[in-house]
């Protein structure tokens, strides 16, 4: 089925490449709209919103400072409208857009702050649109009155409100980005949907945009705009804007015909003379990101919070808390009966996936006042089963063993194209096939770090072959330098090798051998160090699994790699690196092993970087103009060295781009939008869902929560992020680089790409966390709360990482290096904690596990008692057997 554009945009777009006109009428000035909570401005002629600041503040959520270069046709603002309609008897949709050919609108005298008839800026048709700017209890409102002035019924199959925010980083210094810019994300939750926006720095008042009655957020669509040098729309420095879609049937019948939308597409039919009202409300969350839910609820919009989030395993119940002024009338899931729903108490529900559930699952809540809310879950297999699938797929389907390969890549775990069901042995972005850079290490990094938490004898044996024959000596040189890629494009250097002639090999991405073998990128060293550290952990806890090397060789290889990365011929080693929490893990293990000299050297190397960061206003440098990768390393080391101000600033920075939203795709999803260009199969700028930023930035928030267990918002966002890498893994065990969020796609990328760093973040951060929530009481992330008759609490452990538990009310972190934690028990007094250990189900047998107990208070410590316990590596060695072992931690 086709649709027609009322005004052709092709000629308009071509002309915009040559010049940028001013079509808003800026020369005629602005109209100020002041409410109790906002100072706003609209353009007098166009009456679109161009400035929106909380009352009494200077921070502007809109790019008013760039209005002179955002005043052309085709550049969207709040107050614009797009829609598709068809008259009775027609099957074709007519496409209307208020930004396409702007004319001065007609002011109307009403009780509104400002109102206008949009007829001059819209094509002739049966629909008349009146726009109103409203004062709603001190908030700013935007409402459209759409009237059918024709002689027959009109079906509206699309209705969109373009959403502009101050998220343009182009030509801005880092300090100005932190000071002036904001980021936004949607909750595509129908009548409970909203858009949240907050300053990039993560502090200060936040903004929420909620629906006026009858204005569901049914979808969130990327807007197409012309790109000009002053802003570079759709680039690494300007992701672009989206629109709030109220009705989407016309899209579902055309561009989205081959996808499954987040919500059921709908349309509305207007009879002759009938008027429909749609609109949104802008509200200030004065307490910043932590106050967003309070601000949303203040508008009468339902608020939901899921524990442990919205990526949930089918082997255990999760919790859902609903805050609303209206009673729930029904709750249903799609696919039908995929979720088992049980009301525990008023506003509290148990949500348990059925035994057959997997993948995207939508929970629909209907309220007695007529509102409809959708909550979006992603159901996985049980955590340990997901890891087993992943390890199996990586070391079989992604195992490359062509010994004749002229680049020396065999044997190894390589990038995989799931859509083609084949290993990616060639790509013009040579690193993807070259076992280095994030795009090339994603597969082997996931395979080897998986062994640190769930080792498998056959997988370990293959990975040792990879280390001995490829990683050490080919990817990495004898002096510990790491090459940028071992695949390259230089036909003369590999005579007889058949490069794919269908590829374009003339881009900068097709490095020759010299460029590929360069050793100047510090990011690449992190992955290699993580691989060695993971096998050190395996060799230490399960020595019978390793054959060619000993635990101390692996640990010293990790140390040597880190120190080589800090040398002067390696670039980017003065910025925070993706995954460099592993440097901290290596330091901890060097200290525990008594390797004092190496530990001191590593400490000094990290100290010099932390001192530099502590002196910088924005210490989050990167290869990119703006990034969300440096924060992890900056946080780890400034916290380690007691640089509290910078560490706190970094936590806030992460909160600025890592939202909490009742949707598996956005909850804890750290902002990434350009990485598919470098490591994905479908290459475009778009908001990526659960790219590696989720798992890595979660490390910052989970660590900060362990230091301050009263701040449960950190746990809510952090656990959402650390769960993200589980959603990438399909039922076969293939892990995709990220999920494509545009509604015309909504699928996982075909490449495994740069998945691995996010999985590393999960390995280092995930576990079972217990917290005391100020509103909902005691909650467990990665476990199930069970009350005991004596007043204590038992927590059977769930989730993928069963070697780390944090008891928030007591401020105690407990970790082990072998076997698994089955459950733990504690009471409010915290005098004793009982932990039940067991052998890893279906895995190798360990003779013992070493346990460490850390507290967030220097005045509190615990001693350990268990059969045969002895001190080891600054912890306690606990013999394991074929039966469960109960360990008691007594507070001393």
Q: Which two tokens stand for residue 575?
A: 């910025």
pLDDT of amino acid 19? 59
Contact between residue 155 and residue 149 where contact means Cβ atoms under 8 Å apart: no
Report how far residue 301's alpha carbon sits from residue 309's, in angstroms, rounded to the nearest whole number.
20
Contact between residue 394 and residue 725 where contact means Cβ atoms under 8 Å apart: no
State the span(s) of the chain assigned CATH 2.60.40.10: 306-380
Contacts of 30 by beta carbon, 8 Å cutoff, 6+ apart:
41, 42, 43, 44, 50, 51
The DSSP-derived string for 28-42 is: G-EEEEE-SSEEEEE
Q: What is the mean pLDDT of each run of 10 residues along the chain (892 residues)?
A: 33 44 97 98 98 97 98 98 97 97 97 98 98 98 98 98 98 95 98 98 98 96 96 97 98 97 98 98 98 98 98 94 97 97 97 97 98 98 97 98 97 98 98 97 98 98 98 98 98 98 97 98 98 98 96 98 98 98 98 98 98 98 93 98 98 98 98 97 98 98 98 98 98 98 98 98 98 97 88 94 97 98 92 96 97 93 96 98 96 92
Q: What are residue 553's DSSP bridge partners?
A: none
Report how far residue 439's alpha carbon sits from residue 382's, in angstroms, rounded to the nearest whole number.
27
Contacts of 17 by beta carbon, 8 Å cutoff, 6+ apart:
226
- As a residue count, the chain comes to 892
Environment class of 175 (CB within 10 Å of its CB; exposed 0-12, middle 13-18, buried 19+)? exposed
The DSSP-derived string for 780-829 is: EESB--EE-TTS-EEEEB-SS--SEEEEGGGTEEEEESSSEEEEEEE-TT
Closest by CA position to 194, among listed 168, 163, 240, 156 = 163
649 — alpha (psi -120 to 50), left (phi > 0) or beta?
alpha
**CATH, range 383-765:** 1.50.10
The side-by-side arrangement of strands in the sheet containing 194-199 is: 106-107, 114-117, 127-136, 139-148, 275-285, 206-211, 194-199, 182-187
The side-by-side arrangement of strands in the sheet containing 339-345 is: 303-307, 318-323, 348-353, 339-345
Helices (H), 426-550: 437-453, 457-466, 513-516, 523-541
Contact between residue 719 and residue 753 where contact means Cβ atoms under 8 Å apart: no
- Structural domain 306-380, CATH architecture: Sandwich (2.60)
State the span(s) of the chain assigned CATH 2.70.98: 3-297
Report how far residue 633's alpha carbon sits from residue 574's, in angstroms, rounded to the nearest whole number.
10
Q: Which two tokens stand for residue 842?
A: 């279906």
pLDDT of amino acid 674? 96
The CATH T-level fold of domain 3-297 is: Beta-galactosidase; Chain A, domain 5 (2.70.98)
Contact between residue 783 and residue 768 where contact means Cβ atoms under 8 Å apart: yes
The side-by-side arrangement of strands in the sheet containing 777-781 is: 777-781, 768-773, 804-807, 812-816, 848-855, 875-879, 870-872
For residue 203, what are the CA distances in angstroms to 183, 287, 446? 12, 9, 34
Helices (H), 272-412: 292-297, 383-394
First to last CA, the chain: 74
Report how far residue 537's alpha carbon sits from residue 815's, in angstroms, rounded to the nearest whole number.
13
pLDDT of amino acid 828? 82
**SS3 of residue 343 by DSSP:** strand
Q: Which two tokens stand for residue 620?
A: 């989050």
Report how far residue 539's alpha carbon sits from residue 530's, in angstroms, rounded to the nearest whole number.
14
Closest by CA position to 833, among listed 850, 857, 809 = 809
State the span(s) of the chain assigned CATH 1.50.10: 383-765
Four-CA torsion 456, 459, 464, 470, nearest 10 degrees: -150
Please report where in the chains the tokens 């699938």 appear, as a residue. Answer: 389
Report how far residue 490's alpha carbon sits from residue 512's, in angstroms, rounded to the nearest whole number.
5
Phi, psi of 868 (to 5 degrees): 75, 15
Closest by CA position to 46, among listed 120, 105, 2, 6 = 105
The DSSP-derived string for 467-488 is: IIIIIBTTTB-TTS-B-S-S--
Contacts of 611 by beta carbon, 8 Å cutoff, 6+ apart:
641
DSSP-derived pairing of the beta strands 804-807 and 768-773: parallel
Q: Cβ–Cβ contacts within 10 Å for residue 699, how many?
A: 28
Closest by CA position to 188, among listed 379, 373, 312 = 373
Closest by CA position to 189, among listed 449, 442, 366 = 366
């Amino acid at each position: 089925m086709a649709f027609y554009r009322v005004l052709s945009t092709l000629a308009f777009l071509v002309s915009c490449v040559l010049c940028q006109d001013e079509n808003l009428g800026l020369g005629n000035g602005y109209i100020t709209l002041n409410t109790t909570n906002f100072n706003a401005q609209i353009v007098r002629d166009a009456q679109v919103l161009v400035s929106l600041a909380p009352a009494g503040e200077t921070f502007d959520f809109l790019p008013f400072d760039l209005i002179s270069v955002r005043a052309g046709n085709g550049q969207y603002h709040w107050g614009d409208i797009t829609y598709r309609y068809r008259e009775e008897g027609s099957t074709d949709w007519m496409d209307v857009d208020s930004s396409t050919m702007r004319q001065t609108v007609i002011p109307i005298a009403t009780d509104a702050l400002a109102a206008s008839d949009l007829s001059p800026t819209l094509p002739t048709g049966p629909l008349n649109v009146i726009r109103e700017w409203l004062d709603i209890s001190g908030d700013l409102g935007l409402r459209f009155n759409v009237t059918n002035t024709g002689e027959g019924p009109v079906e509206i199959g699309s209705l969109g409100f373009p959403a502009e925010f101050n998220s343009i980083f182009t030509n801005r210094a880092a300090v100005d980005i932190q000071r002036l810019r904001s980021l936004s994300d949607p909750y595509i939750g129908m009548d409970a949907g909203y858009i949240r926006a907050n300053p990039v720095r993560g502090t200060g008042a936040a903004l929420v945009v909620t629906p006026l009655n009858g204005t569901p957020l049914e979808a969130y669509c990327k807007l197409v705009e012309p790109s000009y040098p002053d802003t570079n729309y759709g680039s690494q420095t300007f992701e672009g804007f989206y629109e709030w879609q109220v009705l989407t049937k016309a899209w579902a019948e055309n561009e989205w015909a081959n996808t499954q939308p987040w919500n059921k597409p709908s349309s509305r039919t207007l009879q002759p003379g009938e008027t429909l009202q749609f609109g949104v409300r802008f509200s200030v969350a004065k307490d910043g990101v932590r106050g967003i839910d309070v601000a949303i609820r203040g508008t009468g919009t339902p608020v939901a919070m899921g524990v442990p989030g919205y990526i949930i395993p089918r082997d255990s119940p999760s919790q859902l808390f609903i805050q609303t002024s209206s009673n729930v009338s029904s709750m249903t899931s799609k696919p039908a009966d995929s979720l088992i729903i049980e009301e525990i108490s008023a506003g509290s529900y148990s949500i348990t996936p059925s035994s057959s559930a997997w993948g995207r699952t939508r929970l629909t809540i209907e309220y007695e006042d007529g509102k409809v809310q959708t909550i979006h879950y992603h159901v996985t297999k049980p955590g340990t089963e997901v890891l087993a699938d992943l390890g199996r797929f990586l070391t079989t389907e992604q195992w490359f063993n062509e010994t004749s390969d002229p680049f020396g890549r065999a044997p190894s775990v390589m990038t995989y194209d799931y859509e083609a069901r084949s290993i990616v042995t060639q790509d013009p972005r040579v690193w993807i096939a070259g076992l280095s850079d994030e795009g090339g290490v994603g597969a082997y990094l996931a395979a080897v770090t998986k062994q640190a938490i769930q080792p498998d004898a056959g997988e370990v044996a293959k990975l040792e072959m990879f280390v001995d024959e490829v990683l050490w000596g080919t990817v990495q040189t004898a002096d510990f330098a790491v090459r940028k890629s071992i695949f390259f494009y230089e036909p003369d250097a590999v005579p007889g090798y058949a490069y794919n002639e269908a590829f374009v090999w003339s881009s900068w991405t097709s490095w020759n051998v010299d460029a590929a073998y360069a050793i100047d990128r510090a990011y690449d060293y992190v992955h290699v160090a993580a691989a060695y550290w993971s096998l050190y952990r395996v060799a230490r806890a399960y020595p019978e699994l390793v054959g060619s090397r000993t635990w101390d060789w692996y640990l010293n290889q990790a140390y040597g790699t880190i120190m080589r990365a800090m040398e002067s011929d390696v670039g980017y080693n003065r910025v925070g690196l993706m995954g460099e929490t592993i440097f901290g893990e290596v330091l901890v293990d060097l200290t525990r092993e008594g390797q004092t000299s190496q530990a001191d050297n590593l400490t000094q190397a990290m100290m010099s970087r932390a001192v530099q960061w502590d002196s910088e206003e924005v210490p989050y440098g990167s290869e990119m103009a703006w990034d969300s990768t440096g924060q992890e390393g900056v946080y780890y080391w400034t916290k380690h060295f007691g640089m509290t101000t910078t560490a706190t600033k970094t936590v806030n920075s992460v909160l600025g781009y890592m939202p909490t939203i009742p949707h598996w795709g956005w909850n804890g999803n750290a902002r990434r939008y350009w990485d598919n260009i470098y490591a994905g199969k479908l290459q475009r700028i778009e908001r990526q869902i659960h790219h590696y930023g989720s798992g890595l930035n979660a490390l910052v928030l989970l660590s900060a929560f362990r230091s301050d267990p009263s701040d449960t918002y950190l746990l809510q966002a952090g656990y959402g992020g650390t769960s993200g890498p589980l959603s990438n893994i399909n039922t076969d065990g293939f892990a995709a680089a990220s999920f494509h969020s545009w509604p015309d796609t909504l699928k996982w990328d075909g490449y495994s790409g740069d998945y691995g760093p996010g999985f590393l973040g999960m390995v280092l951060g995930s576990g079972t966390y217990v917290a005391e929530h100020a509103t909902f009481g005691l909650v467990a992330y990665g476990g199930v709360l069970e009350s005991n008759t004596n007043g204590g609490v038992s927590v059977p452990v769930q989730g993928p990482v069963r070697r780390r538990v944090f008891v928030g009310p007591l401020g105690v972190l407990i970790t082990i290096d072998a076997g698994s934690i089955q459950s733990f028990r504690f009471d409010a007094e915290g005098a004793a904690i009982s932990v039940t250990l067991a052998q890893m189900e279906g895995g190798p047998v360990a003779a013992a596990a070493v346990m460490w107990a850390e507290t967030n208070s220097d005045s509190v410590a615990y001693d350990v008692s268990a059969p045969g316990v002895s001190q080891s590596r600054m912890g306690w060695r606990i013999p394991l057997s074929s039966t469960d072992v109960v360990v008691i931690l007594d507070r001393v």
